[in-house]
Chains A and B, each alone.
Chain A
Amino acid sequence: MRHRSSVVFCLFGVALLGLAACGAGDTPSTTQPTTSTSATVTTLASPSTTGGKAPVTLTLLSHDSFAGAVTDETFAAFTAETGVEVRVLAAGDAGAMVNQAVLTKDNPIADVLFGIDDTFLSRGLDEGIFTPYRSRHLEAIPDELQLDPGGRVTPIDYGDVCLNYDLAAFGAGEIPPFNLEQLLNPEFAGMLVVEDPSTSSPGLAFLLATIASFGEDGWQQYWEQLIDNGAKVVPDWNTAYYSEFSRYGGDRPIVVSYATSPVAEFLFADPPVEAAPTAVITEGCYRQIEFAGILVGTEQRVAAGLLVDYLASPEFQSTIPITWFVLPANERAEIPAEFTRHTIFPAAPLAIDPATVAANRDRWIREWSEIVLP
């Protein structure tokens, strides 16, 4: 009959809905054979399945870069030690993550927040989203990383935003620029691509580096000259790195990226290369530090403290370089040799204290736009 197919279709749709509802709520590892690549997601086990006390599950709010590399192994050791499961939320980039935490501070969506960096630290602290906690690993973390004397956040990792250049673009006898002033030289005209500080974190870091270098009175003139020398500005790191950088077919051999980008270029090159194809300019780097903190209003204060401790522990910190391409804050963590072999880390990166950044960010970005935008 003609209308039977419509009945079948409806039933099929309802069945799909039911299947999908069951399936999407489960973790992938329960519906497929366990593989080491399945991401770690654990839902709160109901008391009936555990036959007694429900295990504690902590929610960790982070940004896409962190959450995207989380696998079953990431917190397996932590769960084995403490019996606490960790559920990771990815909230976009660092700015979006902090804003979401601020907007939900009365009824937080997570217990621990990880990934707030120094440019957003003041916003987080001023809005009062963290409860103080002193990790026992703090003594192993250098003082210059501990930007919060109030103990509300714990430094977990740090990295540097640096100018990267394509080795292939500089032949024999051609010396690449070695500091910010050199970028103004005519022989490097039209070689630089930078990101917009209002839509890009490395872009903001580079702007802050120039402000730290040339001071409040000099940075505007520097940028005018930089633009006159043919620097190109694009909205985000992706466009700069994968569309404009000469390594990927663009025509700009100097780009604002990270100190660890050459290492990633080496490790993720296919076909494999013998040495990193790009290098960093160690002058004019800006330091970015990432922190973790316990969110106000969490119901699992003790477990959250354990998680922060784990994030700062040498055990976890040793996995940070290869997984997330930043450096561990804990001095006792091991950094793999291949990590340091393929790039040079700046000895004296620039930094501006978080409160100053918070107070002036708007004005600096506005002034920058007036100079740079046509």
Chain B
Amino acid sequence: MKRGRWWMAVPPALFIGWFFLYPVGELLRLSLTQPWSGRLPGGVILFTLGQALASTVLTLLVALPLTAVLSNFDFPGRSAVRAVVTVPFVMPTMVVAAAFLSLGLPASIWTILLAHAFYNLAVVVRTVGTTWSRLDRLPYDSARVLGAGRFTAFRSITLPMLKPSLLAAAAIVFLFSFTSFGVVLVLGGLKYRTIEVEIYRLAVTFLDLPAAGALAIAQLLGVGLVMAVYARAQRGAPTQLVPEMSRLRRPGRRTGLVWAVVGVTLALEVTPLVALVRRSFQGNGAGWRFLAEAGTTAVTPAQAITNSLRFASITVVTALLLGGLAAWVIAGSGRRWSRYLDLTLMLPLGTSAVTVGLGFLVALDRPVDLRTSWLIVPIAHSLIAIPFVVRVTVPALRSIRAELMEAAAVLGASPRRAWRVVELPLVARSLAVGGGFAAAVSLGEFGASTFIARPATMTIPTLLFRLLGRPGSASYSGAMAMAVILMVVTAAVMLLADRGRVGEMGAF
């Protein structure tokens, strides 16, 4: 179904062009014009791809039981579980890695994979879960009535309907694992180097731009490969969606199983976080006392929270606007160039933060010098958030039956009215999920940590790092307390995002 006008693609294209393609292109051009240092960093590429693939598989395996439970059963605490599951996603990797180590896990490849699953569980739960909870029960129930076993019915009915969102979640998890830095650095010991870690070492320690640039190109090709596989796998009829409430049932006989799944999965997610909370209360609340005292930190925790929320709100609005426009254009079939727009918007997810940061420095000084402006932070966050919005919204848009829009037109609605009254409410839930991710990306400061930041605009993660940067049990406990604050703020924002129903229609 053709939808959206071509001009809708212009704002997101301009954004990604000016704030991603141009800076990264400039940096690559600069690095390729410098003399070759002789370093050949090829070995890391295969390992990076391998661990990303393994991480994706493990994450899906760990996340799907919980997703199944959240999508099919309505039980007390369901929204709380959904909110809590997103908290790990925003936790700074240094802190999480330290928590894993404190739990006695050795530095090894399995710990890396486990940490990736810990982080990215939220992606699967929120992406796949949103679709699954809105699948029509009728085909599944019909198959069961006609004699299919539970597994057969799941495999032949539900799974194909989930395919688009499963692939979307897998693509995002793969790219996040592909560019994972802190987790690999700390939990891999020194044996494991990924492209991201190598780019950091080459660019920062050695200022070897040609080698770093070569690896950056390898990363971009990696994203292209992932998107090609994704596009090929996406072929097939889109899923039809229904309102959520019609699918959810009381657990009934299954209560035990439901709570077992929730309990086990939450145990994985929550145990490292509990370790952090306990650490913050060590010494009778030393960390909290430290934060409460005036003058111990450059900004107060309250200011850090305000800064984080400010950046998050700008990121959410930008990502929803630009991502929404892009998704509308991409979801309309029949435009070749929209696929290239889709691929281009995904590139930042698979590009090293170091590359983007250095690109900003070399490129963004004309016509306006943005290099040291606070705007850099929400721009960087939006680069990561927009692909989330697109990935989550496009399948939802494609699932809207063309007949609905045609019926609206036949009944006299203008295209704009039809969009507002029919299309928008149907994708509202996906937009809310996309907006939630945008907020999470911003709160967790993905991609902005190597940029120039001004002390006054310190956010929660930045203040956390400052406190971790010096010895002293009170500062350390203070850092743990900041981590707890981040957890609470994130959970609150996620609960809010889940409540955001933009005029969702009832039964229709």
Q: CB within 8 Å of B: which residues of A?
A: 2-6, 9, 13-14, 16-17, 20-21, 23-25, 27-28, 32, 35-41, 59, 61, 64-65, 67-71, 87-93, 95-96, 99-100, 102-104, 107, 109-110, 123, 196, 198-199, 233-236, 238-239, 241-243, 247-249, 257-258, 261, 264-265, 267-271, 325, 361-362, 365, 372-374
What is the CA–CA distance of A315 and B371 in the complex, to the nearest angstrom? 32
Residues of B within 8 A of A37 (CB): 294-300
Given contacts A109-B371, A243-B101, A325-B470, 8 further A-B contacts (CB under 8 A): A3-B421, A20-B310, A24-B374, A41-B457, A88-B454, A110-B372, A243-B102, A361-B206
Q: CB within 8 Å of A: which residues of B?
A: 30, 94, 97-98, 101-102, 185-186, 189-191, 200-201, 203-207, 283-284, 286, 289-290, 294-300, 303, 306-307, 310-311, 313-314, 316-318, 320, 358, 361-362, 365, 369, 371-372, 374, 420-421, 424-425, 428, 450, 452-458, 465-466, 468-477, 500, 502-503, 505
Query: A71 to B298, Cβ gap below 8 A?
Result: yes
Residues of A within 8 A of B297 (CB): 37
Q: Closest CB-CB distance, B332 to chain A, in whole Å?
A: 21
Contact flag A264-B471 (CB < 8 Å), given A2-B505, A99-B203: yes
Query: A269 to B473, Cβ gap below 8 A?
Result: yes
Contact flag A271-B456 (CB < 8 Å), given A2-B505, A37-B295, A362-B206: no
Residues of A within 8 A of B425 (CB): 2, 6
Query: A89 to B294, Cβ gap below 8 A?
Result: no
Residues of A within 8 A of B372 (CB): 59, 89, 109-110
Q: Closest CB-CB distance, A203 to chain B, in whole Å?
A: 11
What is the CA–CA distance of A14 and B320 in the complex, to the nearest angstrom? 12
What is the CA–CA distance of A48 and B470 in the complex, to the nearest angstrom? 42
Contact of B456 among A38, A64, A104 (CB under 8 A): A38
Residues of B within 8 A of A70 (CB): 298, 455
9 A-B pairs within 8 Å (CB atoms) are namely: A2-B425, A38-B456, A40-B455, A90-B452, A90-B455, A100-B452, A234-B190, A264-B475, A270-B477
Residues of A within 8 A of B290 (CB): 268, 270
Query: A103 to B98, Cβ gap below 8 A?
Result: no
Q: Closest CB-CB distance, B482 to chain A, in whole Å?
A: 13
Contact of B97 among A14, A88, A239, A361 (CB under 8 A): A239
Which of B94, B294, B428, B456 is the most central at the interface, judged by chain A CB atoms within 10 Å of its CB?
B456
Q: Closest CB-CB distance, B508 to chain A, in whole Å?
A: 11
What is the CA–CA distance of A347 and B457 in the complex, to the nearest angstrom? 41
Query: A39 to B500, Cβ gap below 8 A?
Result: no
What is the CA–CA distance of A360 and B452 in the complex, to the nearest angstrom? 29
Query: B299 to A28, Cβ gap below 8 A?
Result: yes
Query: B457 to A24, Cβ gap below 8 A?
Result: yes
Query: A241 to B471, Cβ gap below 8 A?
Result: yes
Residues of B within 8 A of A123 (CB): 207
Query: A374 to B191, Cβ gap below 8 A?
Result: yes
Residues of B within 8 A of A99 (CB): 203-204, 207, 358
- Closest residue of chain A to B184 (Cβ to Cβ) is A235
Query: B361 to A13, Cβ gap below 8 A?
Result: no
Query: A6 to B102, Cβ gap below 8 A?
Result: no
What is the CA–CA distance of A262 and B465 in the complex, to the nearest angstrom? 20
Q: Closest CB-CB distance, A147 to chain B, in whole Å?
A: 20
Query: A28 to B94, Cβ gap below 8 A?
Result: no
Query: B98 to A238, Cβ gap below 8 A?
Result: yes
- Closest residue of chain B to A61 (Cβ to Cβ) is B452
What is the CA–CA distance of A61 and B283 in the complex, to the nearest angstrom? 37
Q: Closest CB-CB distance, B111 to chain A, in whole Å?
A: 13
Q: Closest CB-CB distance, B474 to chain A, in whole Å?
A: 4
- Closest residue of chain A to B206 (Cβ to Cβ) is A362
Residues of A within 8 A of B314 (CB): 16-17, 20-21, 24
Contact flag A104-B303 (CB < 8 Å), given A13-B320, A69-B298, A270-B283: no
- Closest residue of chain A to B30 (Cβ to Cβ) is A103
Contact of B471 among A21, A69, A93, A257 (CB under 8 A): A257
